[in-house]
Structure 1
Amino acid sequence: MLKRKALASFKRMTVAFNAVEDEGRTSSVLLSLQHSFEMLLKAALVHNNVPVFDKSLGRSIGFDKCLQLSRQEPNIKITDAEAGTLRAIDALRDDEQHWFNSVSESILFIHARAGVTLFDDLLNRVFGERLADSLPVRVLPISTEPPMGLDILIDQEFSQIQELLQPGRRARNEARARIRTLLAIEGHASEESLVSERDVDRVEKGIAQGRPRDAVFPALEQISTAFSGEGPTLAVRFDKKGPPVKFADDNSDAAAIREIDLQKKFHWSATELAKKLEVSLPRLLALRQHLGIDDDTKCFYVFEMGSQKHPRFSDNALKHMRDSMKSLNMDEVWAAHKPVGRGTSPRECPVEGCAQASQKQPS
């Protein structure tokens, strides 16, 4: 049933994309495209016996949680690049549905066509089916313009934003709408893809001050597109290039710093991690100490609420621990790190590569 809903929404997206009427077309395309992927991810999770209901709310999980679980499920294998495509589509849909943005025809096409490619990949990967098997033979994909690489499209959009923000133009709202679109596209390279007004404000300020594109949209420098085939067989895939953007100190360009929802990034509790990795909480702690998880800012964060402290872990932590467990002997890790008084001293670590200097007990 979930897979049928996914296919139904995808077909509605193709109808909306090829509509002659422009009014409301972008909204229809993005709403149906995002919904089709949420249903497909839920179908894939249910197919692999992964629960898709939040017991505390009594409701099915949302798009973000579906994506998180699908990246962790080995039989679904959502890659980083695929996750980026899904985040960008979701972010474009979010502003289109709840506020407004300005999505050019070329940007809409490249994301819709990448959606076709990814939907077919996932359908085949999980269910052994092809998208073409569920589409009528009368479907005729047509585009009056050849596809352009994302870097060219971004350059065009940035130039238009610069023009719109020129003194005397009175086009600030349109410029901000285009800024929202480029911030949403950053979802290809960043786990944080939802657009806040504060992000729009700092980008607008940076562009008005004459900052170059790579200073206000650093994450966009990491995204590349790959095309294969042509016509009905055209496949579009996004990928990341180069090292991730880093800010080493407070002297970094403030126009390039994007707000990050830490609660969204560090969403795993220790109990949830232990359950996911199928180990006890004490053994999870031993593994954390052995790998230095609590000292890694990409893996561990403590939320302070008044006098209470709540340690939380990211998907990076889960992946690092899961991958390490494939080669580690957990009995040796436990023997090396279990509390003093229960056998082996923590300083006597028989595991190769174990760093035990100045260990501290995390919360």
Structure 2
Amino acid sequence: MKKEAKTLHGKAVDSLVVAVDHFNRAWDRGRTEAVLIMLDRAFELLLKAIIIHKGGDIREKAKEGTTIGFDYCLRKCLSDAALKCLDEDEAVALQSLNTLRDAAQHHMIEVSEEQLYIHAQSGITLFTRLAGDSLGCPLRKEIPHRILPVCAKPPTDLSSMFDVEFADIKKMVAPGSRKRLDASARLRSMAIIQASLDGKKSQPSDRELSNVVRRINKGEGWRSIFPGVATLTIQPDEAGPGLTIRVMRNQGEAVQIVEEGDPNATVIAVRKVNELDYYNMGLRDMSKKLDASEHKLLWIIRREGMLENLDHHKIIKIGGTTHKRYSGKCLKRLRELLAERELHEAYANRNSPR
């Protein structure tokens, strides 16, 4: 690993440890802000380390001595074929974290204990994957297993968590209540996530939050006010303790597609114009490159579960037509599998009765 990438990775781990340390501390003063700010810093440094390790550049061309910011790091790691290390769900989680950090650092925000735990624990899970897969630096070699966020009642379902939180907010904004300012601070976290999923970078204004309060007092539920937030779900990590946050597209389009170059758009909301550069082959293209029949390749792809792996395959819609596209990673994996004698034997016996 290059020295600069190694140093950035070390600083990223330091920030992650500080974030977890603040999460687990007994003193509440400044705790939420410290967790969000240090988690955000940990991921910006980690993404920069990955970009350098993979041969990319983190220097601003227009400003000498300045490095790129979080948004640009995220875009590179999501969209650049040579640097890609994130899928869309992971980018959604990081974009939301960055927007919450912005509110914590520049204004004010109230995040429930359960919601803060989700961001902290899912952050550990994602950091572990990125550091191990992209840098070959397993987190377990850097910090003890005991350094994990501790929560007395870990949430198992986001919808139930928001149901409870929203019920509290309704009481706080009821006519005659003197807790509207506190309620607005709590609503801001949900509004920020919704705005991020809608493709907006700006923080919700006082007027926008007042409109939300009016809708609440008219009897609207949080699912109709924040439809994008309603598509988020918790998915347990199969590799060990941890959580990942994913967007369930079958419940509605949570990410608004906007034009490339829109200065008010979030990273995750911008259509990846070079997506076809990453998924740059059809089945016929790979058949020619590997000198293998399309039927055989499709059998292998289905057998290995590659159709469900975004690193290997994605269905891309252009106009009214959908195209099944495959990546260079898929081609490389197929080439490795075709070199295995056992695979050819399995293919030859695929229709034989067991």
TM-score (norm 1): 0.67
Aligned to 2:172: 164
Are residues 1:46 and 2:52 paired? yes
Distance 1:187 1:115 in 2: 20
Q: Do the aligned partners of residues 216 and 44 (structure 1) sit closer, same or farther apart at CA in structure 2, a change above 3 Å counting?
A: same
Is 2:177 the counterpart of 1:182?
Answer: no
Q: Secondary structure at the match of 1:317?
A: coil
Q: Which of these residues, 86, 104, 114, is aligned with residue 106 of structure 1? A: 114
Identify the residue that residue 360 of structure 1 maps to in structure 2.
none
What do residues 88-108 of structure 1 show as CA deviations (whole Å, max 9, x unaligned)? 111221111111111111110
Alignment pair present for 1:144 and 2:149? no
Equivalent residue, structure 1, for 2:203: 195
Structure 2 partner of 1:265: 265
Map of 1:34 onto structure 2:
40
Report the alpha carbon displacement of residue 216 of structure 1 after superposing the two structures with TM: 1.1
The alpha carbon displacement at 1:156 in A equals: 1.6
User: Paired residue for 2:23?
Assistant: 17
Map of 2:214 onto structure 1: 205
Shift of 1:18: 1.1
In structure 1, how many angstroms separate the alpha carbons of the residues matched to 2:223 and 2:131?
36
Residue type matched to 1:108 in 2?
L
Distance in 1 between residues matched to 2:233 and 2:148, nearest whole Å: 27
Structure-2 change in CA distance of 1:192 and 1:138 (3 Å): same
User: Which region of structure 1 is more displaced relative to structure 2, 147-156 or 202-211?
Assistant: 202-211
2:281 match = 326
Deviation at 1:73, TM superposition (A): 3.1
Question: Relative to structure 1, is the Cα distance of residues 262 and 32 closer, same or farther in structure 2, using a 3 angstrom cutoff?
Answer: same
Q: Is the 8 A contact 2:117 2:154 kept in 1?
A: no
Once residues 140 and 118 of structure 1 are traced to their aligned partners in structure 2, the CA distance between those partners, rounded to angstroms, is 13
Determine the C-alpha separation between the residues in 1 that align with 2:190 and 2:279.
37
1:303 corresponds to: none
Judged with a 3 Å threshold, the aligned counterparts in structure 2 of structure 1 residues 224 and 155 are, in CA distance, closer, same or farther, namely same
Partners of 1:128 and 1:180 lie apart in 2 by 38
What is the distance in 1 between the residues matched to 2:266 and 2:22?
37
Note closer, same or farther for the CA distance 1:122–1:187 as it changes in structure 2 (3 Å cut): farther
Contact 1:189 1:222 in 2 (8 A): no
Quote how far apart the aligned CAs of 1:140 are.
6.4
User: Structure 1 residues 138 and 83, CA, compared in 2 at 3 Å: closer, same or farther?
Assistant: closer
* Paired amino acid for 1:78: L
SS in 2 for 1:132: helix
* Alignment partner of 1:217 out of 226, 251, 255: 226
| Alpha-carbon distance, 1:218 to partner | 1.0
One-letter code aligned to 1:161: I
The gaps in structure 1 that reach 5 residues or longer are 248-260, 268-297, 299-313, 330-353, 356-363
Q: How does 1:127-142 map to 2 (within 5 A)?
A: 127-136=135-144, 139=147, 142=150
Q: Please name the residue that 2:90 is paired with.
A: 82
Q: Distance in 2 between matches of 1:133 and 1:194?
A: 38
| Cα distance change of structure 1 residues 226 and 188 upon mapping to structure 2, 3 Å threshold | farther
String of CA shifts for 1:287-321, please: whole Å, max 9, x gaps: xxxxxxxxxxx9xxxxxxxxxxxxxxx433332x4
> 1:213: how far off?
1.7
- 1:160, 1:266 → 2: CA distance? 30
Q: CA deviation at 1:4?
A: 1.1
Q: Counterparts in 2 of 1:324-363, with a 5 A limit?
A: 325-327=280-282
* Equivalent-residue separation in structure 2 for 1:73 and 1:117 (angstroms): 23
Q: 2:71 is aligned with what amino acid? A: D
SS at match of 1:115: helix
CA contact (8 A) 1:91 1:187 kept: no
Residues 233-290 of structure 1, C-alpha deviations (whole Å, 9 max, x = no match): 422011111230599xxxxxxxxxxxxx9324399xxxxxxxxxxxxxxxxxxxxxxx
Match of 2:242 among 235, 242, 246: 235
Q: CA deviation at 1:158?
A: 1.6
CA distance in 1, matches of 2:197, 2:89: 8
What TM-score, normalized to structure 2?
A: 0.69
| Gap regions ≥5 residues in structure 2 | 1-6, 286-317, 320-354
How much has 1:324 moved relative to structure 2?
A: 6.9
Instruction: Determine if the alignment matches structure 1 residue 315 to structure 2 residue 271.
Output: yes
Task: Work out which structure has the larger RCO, using CA pairs closer than 8 Å and 6 or more positions apart in sequence.
Answer: 2
Conserved 8 A contact 2:16-2:38: yes
For the 8 Å contact 1:84–1:191, the answer to whether it is kept is no
Q: What secondary structure, in the 3-state scheme, does the structure 1 residue paired with 2:273 have?
A: helix
Match of 1:67 in 2: 74
Q: Over aligned residues, Cα RMSD in angstroms?
A: 2.9
Specify whether residues 245 and 47 from structure 1 end up closer, same or farther in structure 2 by C-alpha distance, changes over 3 A only: closer
Contact 2:201 2:265 in 1 (8 A): no
Alignment equivalent of 2:10, drawn from 4, 11, 18: 4
Equivalent pair of 1:34/1:90 in contact (CA under 8 Å): yes
Counting matched residue pairs gives 270
Kept in 2, the 8 Å contact 1:106–1:148? The answer is no
